[in-house]
Structure 1
Amino acid sequence: LHHQGGMVETYLKLNQPWFQRHGFTTVLDIGANVGQFALTVAQLLPKAQIFAFEPIPSCFNQLQQAMGSCQNFTALNLGLGDERGELAFECNDYTPSSSFLTMTNVHTEAFPFTQGTAQIKVKIEQLDTIAQNLALTEPLLIKIDVQGYEDRVLRGGEQTVRRARMLIVETSFQSLYQNQPLFKDIYQVLTDWGFSYVGALDQLPNPKTGEILQSDSIFVQRNP
Structure 2
Amino acid sequence: MSFRTKIIQQLIHINEAIFFYPKLKKFYKENLKSQEINILDIGANKGQSIDFFLKVNFNAKINAFEPNKKLFRYLENKYKSKTNITIHNFGVSKIKGELEFHENILDETSTFEELNLDSKYLDKKAKVLGISKENIIVDSYKVNVIRLLDYLNENSNIFFDVLKIDVEGHELQCLEGLFSNEIKIIPIKYIQIESHNDDMYINNNQQEKIEELLNTNGFKQIAVIKHGFGDFSEIIYQNKSQL
Task: With the length of structure 2 as denominator, give the TM-score of the two structures.
Answer: 0.78
Q: Does 1:150 align with 2:171?
A: yes
Is 1:116 matched up with 2:131?
no
In the alignment, what sits opposite 1:23? Answer: 33
Equivalent residue number for residue 8 of structure 1:
17
Q: Deviations over 1:194-218 (max 9, x none)?
A: 2221232223655xxxxx2x21111
Question: Which structure has the greater CA radius of gyration?
Answer: 2
Tell me, which stretches of 5 or more residues in structure 1 are unaligned? 207-211
Asked if 1:165 corresponds to 2:189, the answer is: yes
Q: 1:182 and 1:204 mapped to 2: Cα distance?
A: 22
Shift of 1:83: 1.1
Counterpart in 1 of 2:103? 91
Corresponding residue of 2:223? 199
Letter in 1 for 2:150: T
Q: Are the structure 2 counterparts of residues 21 and 217 from structure 1 closer, same or farther at C-alpha, using a change threshold of 3 Å?
A: closer
Residues 100-115 of structure 1: pairs in structure 2 closer than 5 A: 100-104=112-116, 105-112=119-126, 113=129, 115=135
CA contact (8 A) 1:171 1:186 kept: no
Which structure has more helix as a fraction of its residues?
2
Please state how far the C-alpha of 1:173 moved relative to its aligned partner. 2.5
Show structure 1 runs of 4+ deviating over 4 A. none
Bigger relative contact order, structure 1 or 2 (CA pairs below 8 A, ≥6 apart): 2
Please give the alpha-carbon distance, in whole angstroms, between the structure 1 residues aligned to 2:73 and 2:57: 23
TM normalised by structure 1 equals 0.84
- Given that 1:53 and 1:78 are in contact with CA atoms closer than 8 Å, whether structure 2 keeps it comes out as yes
Give CA-to-partner distance per residue, 1:92-114, whole Å, 9 cap, x none. Answer: 11111111111222442231137
The whole-number CA distance in structure 2 between the counterparts of 1:20 and 1:178 is: 37
Q: Which residue of 2 aligns with 1:73?
A: 85
Q: Using the TM superposition, give the Cα deviation of residue 28 of structure 1 relative to its aligned residue in structure 2, in angstroms.
A: 0.2
Unaligned runs of 5+ in 2: 1-9
Distance 1:174 1:40, change over 3 A: same
Are 1:218 and 2:236 matched, yes or no? yes
User: Using the alignment, how far apart are the partners of 1:161 and 1:98 within structure 2?
Assistant: 32
Q: Distance in 2 between matches of 1:161 and 1:174?
A: 33
Residues 198 and 81 (structure 1 numbering): CA distance in 2 closer, same or farther, change over 3 Å? same
RMSD of aligned C-alpha atoms?
A: 2.6
- Provide the rounded CA distance (Å) in 1 between the counterparts of 2:104 and 2:85: 26
Residue 98 of structure 1 contacts residue 147 of structure 1 at CA under 8 Å; is this kept in 2?
A: yes
Whole-Å separation in 1 of the counterparts to 2:200 and 2:157: 33
Number of aligned positions between the proteins: 215
Matched-pair identity in %: 24
Q: Is 2:69 aligned against 1:45?
A: no
Give the 3-state SS of the residue equivalent to 2:227 in structure 1: strand
